C-alpha cells in the first residue's frame, strides 16, 4: 500500500519537476533564513549567523540531490537525460544516423512486410466467435501432400456423424451468373452446407442464416433460400430495408433472400469475399449437367471443417475421423470396387487439424515460399545489425576521448554502456518507425504479386497487434544485437590510457580494428549467401520460362465460352464452334484458331487409364481438341496427321498421343496406325492412333510433360461439357480481341454470358505465382543485401582511414606513392571481402541445399550463379572502397604530420 | 556527512519527526529540526538538511501532509501536519523501534 502510494507520487512528481524544484528551493531558503534570524536574536552578527546556519544545515546541494532522488524515479530521469544526450549526439553526426536508420528501416521494414503477409495468410484467426474451436478435416490420399477436397457423399457421411465435432460443414467458392435486368453478371458466391452458419456463429444483420432445412433437395417448403452479404445488399439493393423475401436469380434459378450477413463475415476461407451463400443441396439444380454433387464420389471439390463439441479436443477429433475412414467410405460410396482400390492403393486416412484461421488453398502453395522469404528477411535484418554494430564500433573508437572524459568525471562503466545502448535504442526505434511506415505500401505491392493469379482473392495485410508486437520484438532484439557488443567494447580497456594515446602514429595495426573487420567479414558472408540464394531462384525461374512448355505461349490467347445454358448439343454445337472459329480467324491480328476442353497449366486435369500392349495400366492425361490445335499451339506434329472436322463419332474413335504416351502405351514399336482399347462406361472402345505430337506441359508447370492423349472435339464423350475454350494464335496485337469475341458471341449466341479472354502468358505467370513472388523478393533482398554491405564496408573503411591520417601522412612523407596508399586502403577491404567470401561460400554450399525443392532444372551449386554472385559482391566492395581510398590518397603529408 | 556529527538511522529520524509533529502540531521544517535538536540535547546532532528527504518520504507514504502558511514571525513557510494514517502509524513505528532498541540492548549486554 505504502509502496504503491510512494511510487504513484514519484511518478506524479516526474511531471511537475520544475514546480517542485522551485518549491523545495524556497523551503530551504526559508529554513536557512529562520536559522539566521534565530542566531541573530542571540546577538550573533549577520555574517557569522549565516555561516553557522549553513554549517548546521549541512550541504545544501547534497540535500537537494538526495531530495530529488527520493522524489522521482532516478533511473527514468537518468534515461531521459541519456535520451536527450543521445539525440544530440546523433544530431551531430547526421550522416551516421541516417545510414544507420536507413539500414535498420530496410531490415525491420522487410521483416515486418513479410511478417504481415504471413500474419494475413497463416496466422490471423477468422473473425467468428471462438474460432479456436474450429478444425479443418483433410486426408492423406495416395500423394505425399495432404488433400483437402472432399466429394459430396463423403462430406454427407461426416455430417451425419456426431462425436468430437458438434457440427461439420462444407463449402465451395464458385463464380455464379446472376441476372440483373437484361444482362448477366459474374458474381462470387459460395455453396455452404446446412451446418455452415451454425458452426461459424455469426449473427446476421437482417433476417436469418441458412440451416439444415434449407440444405435439402428442393430447398425449404418456401423454395430456394439464399443469404447475401452486406456488400451485395449495398451495391445491388442500395440497403433496401425490405430486402428479405426478395428474389435473386442465380444461374437461372430464383432464390429467396432470407438474410444479410455483416461485412466483417466472409465465411471460412480468409481469402474470399463471397457476395452470397446458397445451400449445397441446390448445386444439382444450379449446375445442371455439370453438377458435381451428381458426380458423387468422383468429384473432389468441397472443403470440410468442423466445430469441436464442448469439452472435445482436436486430438480426439483427429483420432475419431481417422478411425472412421472405412465406415465413412462404405457409407458414402456404393461402388465396392472403387472402395477396395482406394483402400488398397491410395491408403486413404482422414485427419483433423487446427482451423482457427479457416481454410484456403493459396496457403498450401505459398506457405513454403513465404517461409523461405521470411528466412531471407531474417538474413537481411542480421546483416543490418552487423552493419550497425561495426559502424557503432568504429564510432565508439572515434568517440574514445569523449567517453574517457566522462569516465574521468566519475561516470561508471555501467552508465556509459547504458548511454551507448540508449543511443542504439534511439536508432532502433527510429529505424523501426521508418520501417513500419514503409511496410503497408510494400505489402500491398507484394499482395498484388502474390494474388495475381486469383483475381477474386483478398488478403488482409493490415497491421494488427501481432505485427506491432513482431516489429517491436524485432527492434529490441536488433538493438541488443547491434548495440551491446560495441558498447561493451567501447568502454573496455583503460580509457585513460587510450586517451593518452590519441591518434597514435607509431601503432600501425590497431588491435581494436580486428573485431569490426571480423564482423564485416561475417556480413560479407551472409550477403553472399543471400545473393547466391537469390541468383539460384532467379535462374530457376528463367529456366522454367525458357525450358519449354512444349508449346509457344507468346501471343496465345484463350477465350472461354460458357455454353452450358445455350441448349446446343452434338452436331449443332460443333457447327456453332466451327462457325465461331471461322469468324474469330478473320479478326485483325489473329493467325489461327482452334479449341480445347482443358486449358493447359490452370490446374484442372482429366485422366484415364489405358492398357498398354502388354496389359499394364497407364494413367494418361487427356484433352479434347479441335482441328489445327497443334499448329495453333505450335506443338510439333511428329508423325501421322492432325484431326479434321470430319473426325465425327461415325468414322470410329481417333486418338493422337504425345511422345511420352506413345512410348508408354506401345513399348514394343511405333504407335502410329495401331489401335488401343479403353473401357468407357462398361463399354469397350477401340481407338486408332492417327498422330504423334511433341510433349507439352499439362496441369502442373513444375512437373515434366506427362503422357497425354488427345481426342477430337466432335468425338468427346468422356466429359459432359458444352463449354470449350478457343485457343487463338495472334501476331501480338490483341487489343481488339476481347471486343471481337464479345461482338461475335452477342451476334451468334446472345443468351450466353460474355466470354472471358486470358492470355497464355498470364496463365503461366499465375501458375508460377509463388515462384515469381519468391524471385521478386529474393532479387530485391539480394540487392538490399549488396547495398547494406557496401554501406557497411564503406563506413568502417572510412572511419579506419580517417583514424590513420597521420600514419598515411608519414608513409607518404617517407616516399610512399599515392597509388601505393590507394592499394593499401583498398587492400584492407580486399582481405575482409576475401575472408567473408570463403566463409559465405562454405555456408552457401551447405544452406542452399534447402532451396533445392524450389529449384527447377538448376543445381543448388550452380557454378555460374556462384561465380556471378561473387563478382557482384566484389563490385559492391570495390565501389565501397573507392571513396575512402581516394580520400586517403589526397592526404597532404605535411598537414597530416603537423596535426599530430 | 557532517564533520563531527554522527549519522542517524533512517527509521529513527522518521519516528522523531512523527513524534515531534504529534507533540507540537503543525510545524515547518526548521521548527522540526530545532525541536529534534532540543529534545535530544547534545546527544544527537543532525544535519538539519537531512530532515527534508525524510519529510518527503513520510509525505509520499501519506503519513504527513504539507501546506504553505505563515510562520510566527509572519514568514511564508511550509507547514507539516500528521495525517490520520500518520497518527495511527506512530504506535506501530514506536513498537518497531522499541523492538530494535531492545535487541540492540541485548547484544550490548551480552558482551
Query: Are B52 and A63 an interchain contact pair (Cβ–Cβ within 8 Å)?
Result: yes
| Spatial separation of the C-alpha atoms in residues A668 and A856, rounded to whole Å | 32
Tally the C-alpha atoms within 13 A of residue A552's C-alpha that lie toward its C-beta: 15
Query: Are B49 and A24 an interchain contact pair (Cβ–Cβ within 8 Å)?
Result: no
Q: What pLDDT, on the 0 to 100 scale, is given for residue A219?
A: 67
Phi and psi at residue A333, to the nearest 5°: -115, 130
Helix (H), strand (E) at residue A771: helix A769-803
Query: Are A70 and B57 an interchain contact pair (Cβ–Cβ within 8 Å)?
Result: yes
Q: Does B86 touch chain A (CB under 8 A)?
A: no
Q: Angle, nearest 10°, between helix axes B10-24 and B51-61?
A: 80
Nearest Cβ partner of A30 from B49, B62, B77? B77
Task: Tell me if A710 sits within 8 A of A655, measured CB to CB.
Answer: yes
User: Which residues are CB-contacts of A351 (< 8 A; sequence separation ≥ 6)?
Assistant: A137, A138, A139, A140, A146, A318, A321, A322
| Spatial separation of the C-alpha atoms in residues A381 and A387, rounded to whole Å | 10
B7 to chain A: nearest residue by CA?
Answer: A58
Closest among A664, A729, A660, A668 to A694, alpha carbons compared: A660
Angle at A392 between CA A402 and CA A404, to 5 degrees: 20
Q: What pLDDT, on the 0 to 100 scale, is given for residue A820?
A: 86
Q: How far is CA A239 from CA A186, A206, A229, A233, A236, in A?
A: 21, 11, 11, 5, 8
Query: Are B62 and A5 an interchain contact pair (Cβ–Cβ within 8 Å)?
Result: yes
Phi and psi at residue A280, to the nearest 5°: -60, -35
The B residues from 9 to 28 touching A (CB cutoff 8 Å) are 28
Query: Are A57 and B75 an interchain contact pair (Cβ–Cβ within 8 Å)?
Result: no
Q: Does B105 touch chain A (CB under 8 A)?
A: no
> In chain A, what residues touch B30 (CB-CB under 8 Å)?
30-31, 34-35
Taking the complete model, does pTM exceed 0.95, yes or no? no
**Alpha-carbon dihedral sign for residues A304, A309, A310, A314:** negative
Q: What pLDDT, on the 0 to 100 scale, is given for residue B79?
A: 92
B73 to chain A: nearest residue by CA?
Answer: A34
Closest among A260, A132, A270 to A205, alpha carbons compared: A260
Name residue, grid cell 530494535.
B100
Query: Are A59 and B57 an interchain contact pair (Cβ–Cβ within 8 Å)?
Result: no
- Asked if residue B3 has pLDDT above 50, the reply is no
Q: Does B34 touch chain A (CB under 8 A)?
A: yes
Query: Are A62 and B49 an interchain contact pair (Cβ–Cβ within 8 Å)?
Result: yes
How many contacts, defined by CB atoms under 8 Å, are there between A and B?
75
Query: Are A58 and B59 an interchain contact pair (Cβ–Cβ within 8 Å)?
Result: no
| Spatial separation of the C-alpha atoms in residues A887 and A898, rounded to whole Å | 18
Query: Are A33 and B75 an interchain contact pair (Cβ–Cβ within 8 Å)?
Result: yes
User: Which residues are CB-contacts of A794 (< 8 A; sequence separation ≥ 6)?
Assistant: A880, A881, A883, A884
CA distance B109 to chain A (A): 34
**Alpha-carbon dihedral sign for residues A568, A572, A574, A579:** negative
A70 to chain B: nearest residue by CA?
Answer: B53
Nearest Cβ partner of A66 from B53, B71, B77? B53
Indicate which of B51, B52, B85 best probes the interface with A, i.e. most A CBs within 10 Å of its own CB.
B52
Nearest Cβ partner of B48 from A37, A57, A62? A57
Q: How far is CA A833 from CA A75, A100, A510, A522, A527, in A?
A: 43, 21, 19, 9, 11
CA distance B72 to chain A (A): 11
- Asked if residue B52 has pLDDT above 70, the reply is yes
A59 to chain B: nearest residue by CA?
Answer: B49
In three-state form (DSSP H/G/I as H, E/B as E, the rest C), the secondary structure along A293-338 is: CCCHHHCCCEEEEEEECCCCCHHHHHHHHHHCHHHHHHHHCCCHHH
Nearest Cβ partner of A30 from B48, B56, B75? B75
Query: Are B73 and A23 an interchain contact pair (Cβ–Cβ within 8 Å)?
Result: no
Helix (H), strand (E) at residue A772: helix A769-803
- Asked if residue B6 has pLDDT above 60, the reply is no
Q: Under DSSP, is residue A555 helix (H, G, I), strand (E, B) or coil?
A: coil
Q: What pLDDT, on the 0 to 100 scale, is given for residue A453?
A: 59
The A residues from 24 to 83 touching B (CB cutoff 8 Å) are 24, 26-28, 30-31, 33-35, 37-38, 56-60, 62-63, 66-67, 70-71
Angle at A387 between CA A383 and CA A392, to 5 degrees: 150
Q: What pLDDT, on the 0 to 100 scale, is given for residue A499?
A: 54
Q: What pLDDT, on the 0 to 100 scale, is given for residue A571?
A: 85
Q: Spell out, as residue ranges, where chain A has pLDDT lower than 70.
A: 1, 142-143, 219-221, 345, 450, 452-456, 493-513, 547, 565, 681, 733-735, 897-900
Nearest Cβ partner of B52 from A9, A34, A67? A67
Q: Does A16 touch chain B (CB under 8 A)?
A: no
| Spatial separation of the C-alpha atoms in residues A11 and A329, rounded to whole Å | 69
DSSP line for A397-413: HHTHHHHHHHHHTT--H
User: Which residues are CB-contacts of A846 (< 8 A; sequence separation ≥ 6)?
Assistant: none
B28 to chain A: nearest residue by CA?
Answer: A31
Q: Does B60 touch chain A (CB under 8 A)?
A: yes
| Spatial separation of the C-alpha atoms in residues A837 and A526, rounded to whole Å | 9
Indicate which of A54, A57, A62 best probes the interface with B, i.e. most B CBs within 10 Å of its own CB.
A57
% helix / strand / coil in chain B, to the nearest 5?
A: 60, 15, 25
Amino acid at each position: 500500500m505504502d509502496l504503491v502510494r510512494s511510487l504513484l507520487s514519484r511518478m506524479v512528481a516526474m511531471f511537475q519537476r520544475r514546480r517542485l524544484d522551485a518549491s523545495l528551493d524556497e523551503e530551504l531558503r526559508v529554513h536557512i533564513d529562520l536559522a539566521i534570524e534565530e542566531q541573530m536574536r542571540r546577538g550573533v552578527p549577520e555574517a557569522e549567523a549565516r555561516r553557522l546556519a549553513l554549517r548546521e544545515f549541512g550541504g545544501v546541494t547534497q540535500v537537494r540531490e538526495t531530495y530529488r532522488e527520493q522524489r522521482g524515479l532516478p533511473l527514468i530521469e537518468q534515461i531521459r537525460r541519456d535520451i536527450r544526450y543521445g539525440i544530440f549526439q546523433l544530431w551531430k553526426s547526421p550522416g551516421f544516423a541516417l545510414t544507420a536508420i536507413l539500414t535498420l528501416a530496410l531490415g525491420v521494414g522487410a521483416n515486418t512486410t513479410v511478417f504481415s503477409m504471413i500474419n494475413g495468410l497463416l496466422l490471423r484467426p477468422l473473425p467468428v466467435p471462438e474460432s479456436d474451436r474450429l478444425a479443418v478435416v483433410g486426408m492423406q490420399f495416395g500423394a505425399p501432400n495432404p488433400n483437402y477436397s472432399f466429394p459430396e457423399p463423403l462430406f454427407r457421411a461426416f455430417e451425419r456423424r456426431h462425436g468430437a465435432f458438434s457440427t461439420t460443414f462444407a463449402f465451395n467458392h464458385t463464380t455464379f451468373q446472376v441476372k440483373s435486368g437484361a444482362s448477366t453478371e459474374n458474381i462470387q458466391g459460395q455453396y455452404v452446407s446446412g451446418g455452415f452458419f451454425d458452426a461459424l456463429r455469426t449473427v446476421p444483420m437482417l433476417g436469418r442464416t441458412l440451416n439444415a432445412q434449407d440444405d435439402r433437395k428442393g430447398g425449404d417448403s418456401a423454395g430456394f433460400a439464399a443469404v447475401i452479404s452486406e456488400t451485395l445488399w449495398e451495391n445491388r439493393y442500395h440497403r433496401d430495408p425490405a430486402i428479405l423475401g426478395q428474389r435473386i436469380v442465380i444461374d437461372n434459378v430464383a432464390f429467396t433472400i432470407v438474410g444479410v450477413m455483416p461485412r466483417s463475415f466472409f465465411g471460412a476461407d480468409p481469402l474470399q469475399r463471397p457476395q452470397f451463400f446458397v445451400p449445397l443441396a441446390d448445386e444439382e439444380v444450379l449446375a445442371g449437367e455439370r453438377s458435381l454433387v451428381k458426380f458423387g464420389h468422383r468429384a473432389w471439390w468441397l472443403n470440410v471443417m468442423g466445430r469441436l463439441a464442448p469439452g472435445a479436443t482436436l486430438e480426439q477429433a483427429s483420432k475419431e475421423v481417422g478411425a472412421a475412414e472405412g465406415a465413412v467410405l462404405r457409407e458414402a460410396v456404393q461402388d465396392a470396387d472403387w472402395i477396395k482400390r482406394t483402400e488398397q492403393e491410395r491408403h486413404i486416412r482422414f485427419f483433423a487439424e487446427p482451423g482457427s484461421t479457416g481454410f484456403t488453398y493459396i496457403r498450401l502453395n505459398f506457405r513454403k515460399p513465404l517461409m523461405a522469404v521470411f528466412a531471407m528477411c531474417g538474413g537481411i535484418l542480421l546483416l543490418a545489425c552487423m552493419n550497425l554494430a561495426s559502424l557503432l564500433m568504429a564510432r565508439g573508437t572515434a568517440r574514445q576521448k569523449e567517453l574517457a572524459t566522462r569516465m574521468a568525471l566519475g561516470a561508471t562503466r555501467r552508465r556509459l554502456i547504458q548511454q551507448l545502448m540508449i543511443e542504439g535504442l534511439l536508432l532502433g526505434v527510429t529505424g523501426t518507425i521508418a520501417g513500419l511506415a514503409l511496410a503497408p505500401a510494400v505489402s500491398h505491392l507484394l499482395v498484388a504479386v502474390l494474388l495475381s493469379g486469383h483475381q477474386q482473392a483478398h488478403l488482409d495485410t493490415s497491421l494488427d497487434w501481432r505485427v506491432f508486437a513482431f516489429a517491436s520484438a524485432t527492434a529490441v532484439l536488433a538493438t541488443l544485437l547491434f548495440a551491446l557488443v560495441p558498447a561493451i567494447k567501447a568502454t573496455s580497456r583503460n580509457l585513460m590510457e587510450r586517451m593518452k594515446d590519441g591518434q597514435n602514429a607509431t601503432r600501425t595495426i590497431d588491435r581494436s580494428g580486428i573485431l569490426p573487420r571480423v564482423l564485416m567479414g561475417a556480413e560479407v558472408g551472409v550477403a553472399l549467401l543471400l545473393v547466391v540464394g537469390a541468383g539460384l531462384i532467379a535462374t530457376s525461374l528463367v529456366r522454367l520460362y525458357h525450358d519449354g512448355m512444349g508449346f509457344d505461349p507468346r501471343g496465345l490467347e484463350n477465350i472461354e465460352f460458357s455454353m452450358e445454358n445455350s441448349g446446343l448439343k452434338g452436331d449443332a454445337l460443333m457447327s456453332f464452334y466451327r462457325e465461331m472459329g471461322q469468324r474469330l480467324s478473320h479478326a485483325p491480328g489473329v493467325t489461327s484458331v482452334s479449341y480445347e476442353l482443358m486449358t493447359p497449366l490452370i490446374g484442372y486435369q482429366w485422366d484415364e487409364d489405358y492398357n498398354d500392349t502388354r496389359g499394364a495400366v497407364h494413367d494418361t492425361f487427356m484433352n479434347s481438341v479441335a482441328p489445327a490445335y497443334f499448329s495453333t499451339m505450335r506443338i510439333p506434329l511428329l508423325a501421322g496427321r492432325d484431326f479434321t472436322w470430319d473426325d465425327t463419332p461415325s468414322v470410329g474413335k481417333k486418338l493422337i498421343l504425345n511422345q511420352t504416351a506413345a512410348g508408354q502405351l506401345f513399348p514394343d514399336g511405333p504407335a502410329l496406325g495401331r489401335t488401343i482399347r479403353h473401357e468407357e462406361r462398361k463399354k469397350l472402345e477401340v481407338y486408332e492412333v492417327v498422330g504423334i505430337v511433341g510433349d507439352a506441359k499439362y496441369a502442373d508447370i513444375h512437373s515434366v510433360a506427362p503422357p497425354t492423349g488427345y481426342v477430337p472435339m466432335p468425338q468427346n464423350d468422356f466429359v459432359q461439357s458444352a463449354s470449350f475454350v478457343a485457343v487463338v494464335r495472334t501476331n501480338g496485337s490483341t487489343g481488339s480481341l476481347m471486343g471481337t469475341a464479345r461482338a461475335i458471341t452477342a451476334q451468334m449466341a446472345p443468351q450466353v454470358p460474355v466470354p472471358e479472354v486470358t492470355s497464355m502468358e498470364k496463365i503461366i505467370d499465375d501458375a508460377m505465382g509463388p515462384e515469381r513472388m519468391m524471385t521478386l523478393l529474393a532479387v530485391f533482398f539480394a540487392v538490399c543485401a549488396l547495398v547494406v554491405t557496401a554501406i557497411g564496408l564503406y563506413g568502417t573503411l572510412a572511419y579506419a582511414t580517417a583514424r590513420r591520417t597521420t600514419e598515411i601522412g608519414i608513409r607518404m612523407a617517407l616516399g610512399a606513392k599515392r597509388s601505393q596508399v590507394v592499394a593499401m586502403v583498398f587492400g584492407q577491404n580486399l582481405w575482409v571481402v576475401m575472408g567473408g567470401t570463403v566463409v559465405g561460400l562454405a555456408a552457401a554450399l551447405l544452406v542452399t541445399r534447402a532451396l533445392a525443392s524450389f529449384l527447377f532444372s538448376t543445381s543448388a551449386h550452380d557454378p555460374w550463379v556462384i561465380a556471378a554472385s561473387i563478382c557482384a559482391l566484389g563490385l559492391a566492395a570495390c565501389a565501397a572502397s573507392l571513396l575512402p581510398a581516394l580520400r586517403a590518397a589526397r592526404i597532404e603529408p605535411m598537414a597530416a604530420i603537423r596535426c599530430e | 556527512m557532517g564533520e563531527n556529527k554522527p549519522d542517524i538511522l533512517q527509521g529513527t529520524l522518521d519516528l522523531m519527526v512523527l513524534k515531534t509533529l504529534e507533540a507540537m502540531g503543525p510545524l515547518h521544517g526548521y521548527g522540526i529540526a530545532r525541536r529534534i535538536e532540543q529534545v535530544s540535547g547534545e546527544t544527537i546532532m543532525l544535519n538539519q538538511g537531512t530532515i527534508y528527504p525524510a519529510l518527503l518520504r513520510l509525505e509520499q507514504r501519506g503519513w504527513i501532509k504539507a501546506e504553505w502558511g505563515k510562520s510566527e514571525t509572519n514568514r511564508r513557510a511550509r507547514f507539516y501536519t500528521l495525517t490520520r494514517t500518520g497518527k495511527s502509524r506512530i504506535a506501530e513505528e514506536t513498537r518497531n523501534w522499541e523492538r530494535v532498541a531492545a535487541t540492540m540492548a541485548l547484544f550490548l549486554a551480552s558482551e
